[in-house]
Amino acid sequence: MGQHTTGSDRAIPHFQDGPDHESLLVGHSSQIMERTSKPSWNRALDYGCKICLRGTSYCFLLACQVKRDMIRAIRACKTAAEERAVVRKECAAIRSAVSENDQDYRHRNLAKLMFIHMLGYPTHFGQMECLKLIASPGFPEKRIGYLGLMLLLDERQEVLMLVTNSLKQYPLYIWFYAFDYFSVISKSSSILLRDLNHSNQYIVGLALCALGNICSAEMARDLAPEVEKLLQFRDPNIRKKAALCSIRIVRKVPDLAENFINPAASLLKEKHHGVLLTGIQLCTDLCRVSAEALEYFRKKCTEGLVKVLKDVVNSPYAPEYDISGIADPFLHIRLLRLLRVLGQGDADASDCMNDILAQVATKTESNKNAGNAILYECVETIMSIEDNSGLRVLAINILGRFLSNRDNNIRYVALNMLMKAITVDTQAVQRHRPTILECVKDSDASIRKRALELVYLLVNESNVKPLTKELIEYLEVSDQEFKGDLTAKICSIVEKLSPEKIWYIDQMLKVLSEAGNYVKDEVWHALIVVITNASNLHGYTVRSLYRAVQTSGEKETLVRVAVWCIGEYGEMLVNNVGVLDVEEPITVTESDAVDVIEVAIKHHTTDLTTRAMCLIALLKLSCRFPTCSQRIKDVIVQDKGNLVLELQQRSIEFNSIIEKHQNIRSALVERMPVLDEATYSGRRAGSLPAAVSTSQGAALNLSNGVAKAAAAPLVDLLDLSSDDTPAPSSSGNDFLQDLLGVDLSPASSQAGQAQKSGTDVLLDLLSIGSPSAQDSSFTPNALSKSSQDDKTSMGALERLSSPSAPSIQASSPAGGSPMMDLLDGFASGPPLAEANGPAYPSVVAFESNSLRVMFNFSKQPGNPQTTIIEATFMNKSSVVYTDFIFQAAVPKFLQLHLDPASSNSLPESGDGSITQKLRVTNSQHGKKALVMRIRINYKANSKDTLEEGQISNFPRDL
């Protein structure tokens, strides 16, 4: 069998033409692993072991042993620099041998190159050596040559767009490399064609193996007829490799699928196990890329596949294909996946496979991993084919058993599948609710999160109370990193499915007490809205909050809600108004209520919102608790010198109200009006009634392209301007303005009625008048009309606003907001039209029968070399494009940066678009114009499509 040479190669066997010698390979590989431990060599050995699956790895290991001197030298290197020196020396020797056309050592040189390649060093100069070896007549040379070809060259290198971009840095090197690549591709295709028709079946197998690994679209079109013939070859190993090669061809060029339909169908009748497996996979891929193939296999092959699966299920013990007592699980899984594709959307095919699916689901053991894999594929097939309620209940029960498995992976995939099943049969999934709830408490973070999402989908009106109770109880003991997700889900469940307001308030208070620091602002805002609407529960709520804040005073959101309610309903807390039967009696004095707010101010010194709400609550209590007025004043005055301007201003103003404006204090601190729940819910969801949007003022177009909503009209803290309830507004104003009773919507335009102006609510806080009358575009509201004698009290604020009114009026566009900005009143900004630099016309950069690309241009001020391009892609066909990828290349004097696209799916018939921004820097600005080559890949009806073009119609001054 072997020949032996002298010297260092004495122990190395040489194989003649023939099949793989696996036992000898295992022996050599074990010796190598015993003698080696360097990480770089281990990586190479791992890589070689992966290639073992291709059936040619023994060549790799054999050649590595031949070159053990080089390996030892690399292992002996202590630094990366030493390793690079050794590699450079070896590469120089190999280059010399290549230039001298040394035929005797060509295969050994290529073995060295493969090892060097796996260490991460460039080996492009050895590609032509691969061709010379595969062109040799002998099997050993071809074997090492094909292995080198698969390692040193792959089909991804055909994407020369990357080569074009690399020209900026390595122009000469890359062009030589591209030339070398095209030479290799053209020559390798011709050699492959010859070897596919070789009389030696082992050489044919090598060619098929190489083609299956590096086949490009062009090679697939050239060699597909030869591969199709080999599907009928006499040797089953060749048929198996031809089927694997056909799979790659079909994936690369879906248009060739129709050529393989009949040969693939014949493979389904094979008795050889390997050929049958690859044939089933080939049929599956054909069905996914070709509707014609799918229809053919549904009509001709469904019954045959069901019979094959039945034979496999009922087959006796076969040790050759047995894994852990499960007969041939790989064939099981391949058959189930193909049946899933055939049964989806076809009632007849689904009926044909119902019985065998039930048989697989009931007969397969679930205590082995291989059995669980079969059951999972069976469940996925049952959930994908046409409706059969009995089978689906059986499948969901299997998933329920999976949830009790100790393996985290099995439980995770079961939760994923149950999330899909809940849309089909909710009642069957509900039966496993206790098990799913236990998964929420699992120690594995991914299982907890997935189970929580499933529980959220399971909640309905009938089970919301017990499920919420379970989740809140777990919230008390859950991990800190999980509290955020759990709190958000509980709050969403309570808001969405609350049966009554008292239950809603109770559950939210429990959440605030347990995880108040994880509750988002909009959640406690919504709670306050609900509380204001539940007039019969005001006393109960403020007492419940008082109890909660005594034990959980460190929770910010709980303190905010408690402070707000005590400020609004403090007298109900003290006087025990509206006591319910379910409440325990409680005695609270006025001093106790003030204590809560004073403690909150001391404990939350860094929280501006909480401290501001505390000051407002104290101002209200100063009127409702006269006996504590002096104490409240002393607390408010403490912030008179606060470094935070907002708190300082509130402290001074509130102190002035308490001392000097006793006559208007009671009107200023009246209880908040009821906040409309529907309006607030619509604002959160972003879906307000159409009537509201039609009454909005004109939008102000800013220089950054963002449309700013027209400002709110001048509001009155006492709501004296109108008896009607203002229409809700879609603007994103702060929720605290609602708490102050602020009208956030502009008044509807009526005949003879002037448009109201927008200003800050704090201008009206002390009843000190309205903005200057110099601005004739608006009129004061009812409160300012009724207090004309107090206009002079505007003081410094009015003196600041008056000079700026003309400039504001002049710079505001028609229909825009007259709201005054005190800073802008002294210095006018640049014109809006020039904020983004000069304007450039849009151009149609690329257009075909199916696609249209528009380019919009802009420049940053002061940077004329950089152009920002917004590319807009429109679909002109009636088919949705998926996996949409845009690539671009530019010459050396340009630098290109691409931002991520807005989407990878392009709707059909121009119903939507994809946008992507490009930033191009022109180092020859003013001398050379922009030019660009583009490449667009997408899938239409699951078929890959490629479009290319060159853009040279850029505006000249870019």
Rounded mean pLDDT of 16-24? 35
pLDDT at 283 over 60: yes
Q: What pLDDT is stored for residue 187 in this prediction?
A: 61
Place 238 in a pLDDT band, splitting at 50, 70 and 90: very high
Residue 376 CA to residue 413 CA, distance in Å, equals 8
Q: What is the pLDDT of residues 453-504, one digit of tens each?
A: 999 999 999 999 999 999 999 998 888 889 899 999 999 999 999 999 999 9
* Overall average pLDDT of the 263-284 stretch: 93
The DSSP code sequence of 448-510 is HHHHHHHHHHH--TTTHHHHHHHHHHHHHHS-HHHHHHHHHHHHHHHHHH-SSHHHHHHHHHH
pLDDT band at 154 (very low <50, low <70, confident <90, very high): low
What per-residue confidence (pLDDT) applies to 729? Answer: 40
Which residues, in sequence order, are CB contacts of 563 under 8 Å at separation 6+? 596, 597, 600, 610, 613, 614, 617
Which residue segments constitute the domains of the chain, with CATH numbers given? 1-154 (no CATH), 464-582+591-605+613-638 (no CATH), 677-835 (no CATH), 840-951 (2.60.40.1230)
Q: Across residues 331-351, what is the average pLDDT?
A: 93
Interhelix angle 608-624/556-575, rounded to 10 degrees, is 10
- Check residue 215 and give its pLDDT: 85
Whether the pLDDT of residue 424 is over 90: the answer is no
What is residue 666's predicted lDDT score, i.e. its pLDDT? 84
* pLDDT for 3: 39
DSSP label at residue 585: P
Residue in the block written with tokens 């609004």: 568
Position 952 confidence tier, pLDDT thresholds 50, 70, 90: confident
Q: Is pLDDT of 887 > 70?
A: yes
Across 664-693, average pLDDT? 69
- pLDDT tens track for 559-609: 999 999 999 999 999 998 888 888 888 899 999 999 999 999 988 887 889
pLDDT: which is higher, 831 or 22:
831
**Of 881, 882, 888, 878, whose CA–CA distance to 855 is shortest?**
888
Residue pLDDT, tens place only, 359-390 = 999 999 888 899 999 999 999 999 999 878 88
Contacts of 228 (CB under 8 A, 6+ apart): 246, 259, 260, 263
pLDDT of residue 71: 87
569, 538 Cβ separation under 8 angstroms: yes
- Give the residue among 814, 554, 837 at the shortest CA–CA distance from 701: 814
pLDDT of 630 over the 80 cut: yes
Residue 789 pLDDT more than 60? Answer: no
pLDDT, tens digit (0-9, with 9 covering 90-100), for 25-84: 333 333 333 333 334 434 443 443 344 334 344 444 544 454 688 888 898 999 999 999
Q: Model confidence at 114, in pLDDT bands (50, 70, 90)?
A: confident
Tell me which of 26 and 197 has the higher pLDDT.
Answer: 197
Q: Is the pLDDT of residue 751 over 70?
A: no
Average pLDDT value for residue range 827-845: 60
**Pick the residue with more confidence: 905 or 801?**
905
Over the chain, what is the mean pLDDT?
76
Report the pLDDT value the prediction gives residue 440, as an integer from 0 to 100. Answer: 92
pLDDT of residue 838: 65
More confident residue, 809 or 126: 126
957 pLDDT band, cuts 50/70/90, is confident
Segment 813-823 shows an average pLDDT of 38
Q: Which helix (H) or strand (E) holds 527?
A: helix 521-533
Q: Dihedral sign for Cα 746, 747, 748, 751, please.
A: negative
**Burial group, residue 710, by CB count within 10 angstroms (0-12, 13-18, 19+):** buried
Q: How many residues does the chain have?
A: 958
